[in-house]
Amino acid sequence: MELETSVSLSFHRIMKEQTLAGGYCNSLTQYQRMKTREVKVGDLIIGGGKPIRVQSMTTTDTMDTIATVEQSVRMIEAGCELVRITAPSMNEANNLANIRAELKKRGYKVPLIADIHFTPNAAEAAARIVEKVRVNPGNYADKKKFENIDYNDASYNSELERIAERFVPLVRICKENGTAMRIGTNHGSLSDRIMSRYGDTPLGMVESALEFLRICEA
């Protein structure tokens, strides 16, 4: 027992002194929340010192208003503070208004999030209706062709300018309407541009998000 305790304490001391590569974690054994800015999503505040929020996503056909509302209600009553709904086209994006109206009619005011892939026009429509939009930088302005392209700096920057032309209108609409935005990358949909320059790597995922973040900040 004494030996086990000694080994345990020694291991704890070693682990406590370590940090993960990149400084993303101050300790491997002790919880410490990363300090972030507060973001308002409807009447709900995310980040800062506010509680960690609970969100889930519907699995219904967004064009089926009642089914989507009823599933949303079940999620809300189970504890969800935000409800994310897919909006793959203009039809679904516009129908978010009907979903919102029905939820309000039933007494629910939980913020809605439109989940967008491939369709900037749907994102722009949804941003005028819901409290938050989620865009995927890997496919917002790109269609994946699984091509390995040899970019130089000039051609790469030209691609970024093309993306900005598609993305800036959404940024402006969000600012005008007080709509929050999530730039959400994932491993399975990195653009050919990112894959060609960074490969299928964690750095590529980070840079995919940062490209869009820089456009927001410009």
Q: Encode pLDDT of 22-32 as tens digits.
A: 566 677 788 88
Q: Encode pLDDT of 124-176 as tens digits.
A: 999 999 999 999 999 998 877 777 788 888 999 999 999 999 999 999 999 99
CATH class of residue range 35-217: alpha beta
Q: What is the rounded average pLDDT of the residues 43-63?
A: 96
DSSP assignments along 99-166, one per residue = HHHHHHHTT----EEEEESS-HHHHHHHTTTSSEEEE-TTTSS-----------HHHHHHHHHHHHHH
Residue 17 has pLDDT above 70, yes or no: no
More confident residue, 21 or 199: 199
50 within 8 A of 41, measured Cβ to Cβ:
no
Q: What is the rounded average pLDDT of the residues 44-67?
A: 96
What are the extents of the domains in the chain? 1-32, 35-217
pLDDT at 214: 94
Q: How confident is the model at residue 6 (pLDDT cuts 50, 70, 90)?
A: very low
Minimal CA–CA distance to 130: which of 154, 161, 95, 162?
95
More confident residue, 62 or 36: 62
pLDDT at 22: 55
